[in-house]
Structure formats: C-alpha cells, structure tokens
Amino acid sequence: MTSVTFTRRTALSVTSVIVVTLIWELVGRAHWVDPLFLPPPSEILDTALDLARNGYQQTPLWMEIALSLARALSAFAVAILVGVPLGIAMGMAPNFGALIDPFVQFLRPLPKLALIPLVILWFGIGEVSKVLLIFVSASLSIVVGAAAAVGNVRRQQLRAGQALGAHGFALFRHVILPHMLPELFVTIRLSLGIGWTTLIAAEMIASDAGLGWMVVNAGAYLRTDIVMLGIVLLGATGYALDLVLVGLQRWATPWAGRS
Amino acid sequence: MPNDLRHFKPTRRQAFALGVGAAITALSVRTARSQTRKTPDVVRIGYLTAPRAWVIGKTDGSFEKALGTKVEWVPFAAGGPGLTLLAAKQIDFAVFGDTPIIAGLARKLPIQILGSPEIVATSERLIAKPGIASVKDLEGKRIAVAPSSTMAFALEAAIRINKLDGSKIKRLPLDQPATIAAWKRGDIDATYINGPFWADLLSDGGKQILVSEQLQSDGVYVWNSAVVRSEFAENYPDAVVTWLQTVQSQVNRYKADPEGVSRALATNFGAPFEAVRDTLAGLRYPSFEEQLGPKYWGSDAANAKNAPLIKALTDAAQFLADAGDIKRDDVPPSFVPLVNYDLLRRAFPA
C-alpha cells in the first residue's frame, strides 16, 4: 500500500463519515424522524457535554469509559497470556490438542449471557465475575486461532528448518513463530472485538457504572440520546483499540504479506 | 393530442393531490372529533409476565367478547421494555409500574394514564439478614435491588424518609434470580424484592423489615397504572371505555374468587399456585369508582391538583430527575393533563 492511496482512502472514509452525520442531523432537524427514535448528532453532543460535566448517575463520563476499558483490557491481557501459549501448545502437540479441543469447542459458541447466573453463583457479583466473562469469550477464540496458526505453517518450511538443524525451541523461534505471527495478530484483533461485545453482558452483573451498563440503564428510561452516545463511544473505543493493534502488527511483523 | 395531454397532466396531478390532501384533512378532523362507534381491527394489550389479576381475561377471551374485535396479548418482562413497545406502536394498552411510565411521559411518549388498578401493598418487601432489625440499621450495608424498578424507587424513599445517609449504603443493581444467588453466597445484607421471590429469602432466615404499603403514610405510593397510546385513544375512545370496564370486571372476578383466579393464572403462567396467590394478595385493587375520588386521582381534571397520586407522580418525577434518570427540563409541569379523566369518567360515571 503506497502512501498516496492511503491518504486517498483516509480522505474517502472521513468524507463518508461527515456526509452520513450531516444527513443524520438533517433528518432530525427536519423532524422526518421523531428524535425519540433517532436523536440527531447535535443532541447527542449536548448529552455528551452534559454527562462530561455532570456525570451519569454520579459517575463522570470519562470514568464510565475508563472503567469499561479497564475491565476489557485486563480480561484481554489475561486472555492473551493464557490463550496464546495454550493454542500454540495445542497446535504443536496434536495429542494434547485432542484432549483440550472438545471443551474449547463446546464453550466457544455458548452465548455468554447464559453463563451469568453460574458466574454469579461461583464468583459472586464483584469485578472478578465481570472480567471473567470477557476473558472466557476472548480467550477461547485466541486458543482456536493460535492453534490454527501453528497448523498453517507449511510443512516444507518446517522440513527446511529441520534440515538446517533447527529443533525444539530453535525451530519454534526461527521458523514457526515468524510464520504464524501475522495470522496470530488477525486472531487477536478478532478476539478483541468479541471480548468488547461481551462488555454489555459483563456489565449486567451488579454494575452501577461502565459504558455497557450506561446503555442498558438509559434504555430502561427511554433515554435514547444516552443510548446513542453509549453506542457511539463503544464503537469508537473498539475502533481505536483495533487501530492500536494494527499499528502493533505493522511494527511486530513487517514481513507479513511479503513471503 | 399528445401535446394536450402533456399540457393537462400537471393540473390533473395537482387536482388529484388537492383531492387527496382534502380527504386526509377531512379524515383527520373527523377522527379528532370522532364520536362515531368505530371498532379497531385489532387491540393489542401489553402485560407484565408476572401474574396479575386483570390478566385472567386473557385466559377465556373476555376482552375479545367485550371489545367485539381481535385481541393480541403481548408480554414484556419489565417497565422499560413496555415503554419501548409503546414507543414502537406495537401495543395499544398496558399496565405497569408508575416510575417507568413517568420516564416515558418525560420523554414525551404519546401515552395517557388511565388510573391505577393495582396499588403495591405487601407484594414488594425489604428483607434483611438476621441482625438487621429495622431500616435504621441499613447504613454500612449492601442492598440488592432490581435496577429501574418500583422497588429501587421505594428503597430510595425509605432511605430518605428514615433520614439515613444514602452515601453509606451500597446499592447493588441485581435482578431477582441474581439477588437470590448473591443472598445465598452472602454477598448482600438486604434486598428490596417482589413476590414470590421473598418467600425463598424468608424461609432462608431472612427478616422482613418493611413493606411498600408502610411508605404511604409519608405520601409515597407505588402502583401500576393502565396506559393507552394517545393516538389509539383519539381514534377509538369507545374501545378505551370498554377496555377499562373489562379490566374492572376482571378485577371483580378476582375479588369474588381469589383462589380460583389464582389457580387459573398459575396454570396459564406455569407458576406455582401458592406463589401466584401470594403475589396477587400483595396488591390492593381500588375500583375505578374509588380511584376517581379524593383518596387517589380526584373526581375529575378540575379536582385533581391535590389528589394524592397526582402529587406522588410529581414527587417521583422529581426523584427520577435527582437520580439523573430523566432530564430535569423534561419533567412535565403538571401531570393532570396526562391523565385521561374524560374517558375514565365515561367508563365510570359519577
């Protein structure tokens, strides 16, 4: 990707966002749609300023964002620390993989909302339960992705490495890791999205702050302006987290896509 | 000829548009002043999934018979989803808690209040662990309560009335099943909870320290109101009158035979009979005639200003604004115009 097309792409993206926002505002201003159903961006901005100044239910807006980020990121960090080594181990040792795989595949597609009653019974209503729920949904995808990434390293390359005398850790460090890393990054990006979407479920456990909680609570009082603000903030934060990961990926695997 | 046609086309279009416009105007004026006996094609009634006496009419087609049209029953789990259904015009009538109704009215949701067929008495209770003898002992304790519910509102009222320091009480927003789990694990010290859930806690050593009815002496009422979409009430005032009378006759059926109605509802809801019987017994059922008196809503709009429930609505709106649930600017200046006294009076003449 050259820098010219990159600038062009950015310009196009920014333009499309601005155009959609303007149409959205116009629809609200002209009262084509009841603002109760679709509050215009200007009203959402007013709400954002109000919440930034006065907070929502005694919690400042930045705190809601920070709290949700802290929950999601701590869960995500543990998910990477546990999921990546486990996935790699499963990929490198197929027998070990066969032992673990049924449990991973059983838990992975479960709607995490269904786990809430059990999580409360087992771990109570504190922060642990909320972080755990996000951890479960993110880590399982990482395990599956990491195992698959190891499996996708080409046999030829493994043989070439072995022929050159690499075994055990050296083989992993110099052949497997460089080849699986780009795919691992894609897995981590996808799991971050999955973990972030579990935030609302997690914050339904005895929360009185956080972006997910804010959206659910405001919905109960028909405060669609706050619901929309929460959705915009959830989406924007998720987007920003993904951009950070893309940057990290470029820095860590500059060889990706050039083999 | 083609030339002529092209020449005439705009005028005909205009004439047609004018005709349609006139027809629509005429129709809307007609419906606005409608005294004709129009029947809607279908009446959609929203109801809480908890057992309620008036819902006995769902089991045997009483509403179909009275309204003379098709009736659809739409369940919802709590007031919040009820508001969403009304906003999306998916239901015409509903009966649910006063606090979500206030939230809807503050957001200018076009609905009207039709009395209060159910007043919460003992169906919602404050239950505490042994060692907590009264509301005064709650400071420093953890209390679970279902978020944005009438119980959450009653808990705040109890804290205020007993002049407790609210900042020293940890409120945990938990729905009822989660509350019971947290109670058994020892994560909470007390909860404001509705029936039949308190039965579990009482048999587990819990102690009842307050029921919502005790707050009434301080002007705090918790009740379920009937509401109708304003558009529906304007188009089909007669259907609203019939609906109200039918609700009253269902409540009368319950009053005449609480056991039988509880049993029928238990079968219909798939709930244990005792739980249904105790839940229904925890509500008071003033008739609409009684409601249109000085103890509840006042006899009509002119005599409503100092009616207890109108005042309770104003207080509750103030409370919701203080809590940050609704915007202060959104609080209606008066709730009297939001209660449809005309149709209530037509259904139940003085």
Sign of the CA dihedral with B240 first, then B342, B252, and B125 last: positive
Do B208 and B256 reside in the same domain of the chain? no
Beta-strand runs (E) in B168-252: 170-173, 190-194, 207-211, 223-229
Instruction: Name which of B85, B101, B174, B231 to mutate to probe chain A: the one with the most chain A Cβ atoms within 10 A of its Cβ.
Output: B174
Confirm whether B68 is domain-assigned. Answer: yes
Instruction: For residue A140, give the nearest of A209, A89, A86 by alpha carbon.
Output: A86
Shared-domain flag, residues B108 and B225: yes
Distance of alpha carbon A29 from alpha carbon B114, whole angstroms = 33
Residues 162-201 on B with a CB inside 8 Å of A are: 171-174, 177-178, 181-182, 184-185, 187-188
Is 0.80 surpassed by the pTM of this model? no
User: Is B93 in the same domain as B235?
Assistant: yes
Q: Give chain A positions within 8 Å (CB) of B173.
A: 206-208, 217
**Domain stop point among B170, B190, B218:** B218
Residues B163 and B111 in one domain: no
- Examine the domain organization and report whether B141 and B212 are in the same domain: yes
Task: Give the domain extent around B317.
Answer: 42-120+221-347
3-state per-residue secondary structure call for chain A? CCHHHHHHHHHHHHHHHHHHHHHHHHHHHCCCCCCCCCCCHHHHHHHHHHHHHHCECCECHHHHHHHHHHHHHHHHHHHHHHHHHHHHHHHHCHHHHHHHHHHHHHHCCCCHHHHHHHHHHHHCCCHHHHHHHHHHHHHHHHHHHHHHHHHCCCHHHHHHHHHCCCCHHHHHHHHHHHHHHHHHHHHHHHHHHHHHHCHHHHCCCCCCCCHHHHHHHHHHCCCHHHHHHHHHHHHHHHHHHHHHHHHHHHHHCCCCCCC
- Residue B256 domain-assigned? yes
Query: Among B161, B191, B218, which residue terminates a domain?
Result: B218
Residues of B in contact with A55 (CB under 8 A): 324
Q: Where are the domains of chain A?
A: 66-252
8 A C-beta contact, residue B138 and residue B164? yes
User: Are B324 and A56 inside 8 Å of each other by CB?
Assistant: yes
Residues B90 and B143 in one domain: no
- Specify whether B244 is located in the same domain as B113: yes
Q: How far is B147 from chain A (nearest CA, A)?
A: 8
> What is the domain-level CATH number for residue B160?
3.40.190.10
Torsion sign, CA atoms B150, B152, B154, B160:
negative
Disruptive mutation site among A59, A200, A221, A226 for chain B (greatest number of B CBs within 10 Å): A221
CA-closest candidate to residue B178, choices A207, A132, A67:
A207
The architecture (CATH level 2) of A66-252 comes to Orthogonal Bundle (1.10)
Number of domains in chain B: 2
Query: pLDDT per position in chain B (350 positions), as tens?
Result: 444 444 444 455 555 555 555 555 555 544 444 445 688 999 999 999 888 999 999 999 999 999 999 999 999 988 888 999 999 999 999 999 999 999 999 999 999 999 999 999 999 999 999 999 999 999 999 999 988 788 989 999 999 999 999 889 999 988 888 899 899 989 999 999 988 788 889 989 999 999 999 999 998 999 999 999 999 999 999 999 999 999 999 999 999 999 999 999 999 888 889 888 988 999 999 999 999 999 999 999 998 988 999 999 999 999 889 888 888 899 999 999 999 999 999 999 98
Are B335 and B202 in the same domain?
no
Interface test with A, best of B185, B191, B227, B330 (most A CBs within 10 A): B185
Query: CB contact, 8 Å: B100 with chain A?
Result: yes
For A204, the closest chain B residue by CA position comes to B174
Tokens standing for A45?
């901005």
Chain A interface includes B103 (CB < 8 A): yes
| Residues of chain B positioned with their CB less than 8 A from the CB of A44 | none
- In chain A, the residue whose alpha carbon lies closest to the alpha carbon of B89 is A37
Look at residue B122 in the predicted model and tell me its pLDDT: 92
Provide the token pair at B182: 């947290």
**Each residue's pLDDT tens digit, A145-198:** 999 999 888 777 888 888 888 777 888 888 888 888 989 999 999 999 999 989
Q: How much of chain A, in percent, has pLDDT values that exceed 70?
A: 97
The amino acid at B110: P
Of B83, B109, B182, the CB nearest to A125: B182
Question: Are B238 and B336 within one domain?
Answer: yes
- Confirm whether B210 is domain-assigned: yes
Residues B80 and B166 in one domain: no
For residues B161 and B51, membership in a common domain is answered with no
- Are the C-beta atoms of B160 and B169 separated by less than 8 Å? no
Query: A34: pLDDT confidence band, cut at 50, 70 and 90?
Result: confident
User: What is the number of residues in chain A?
Assistant: 259
Residues B174 and B106 placed together within one structural domain of the fold: no
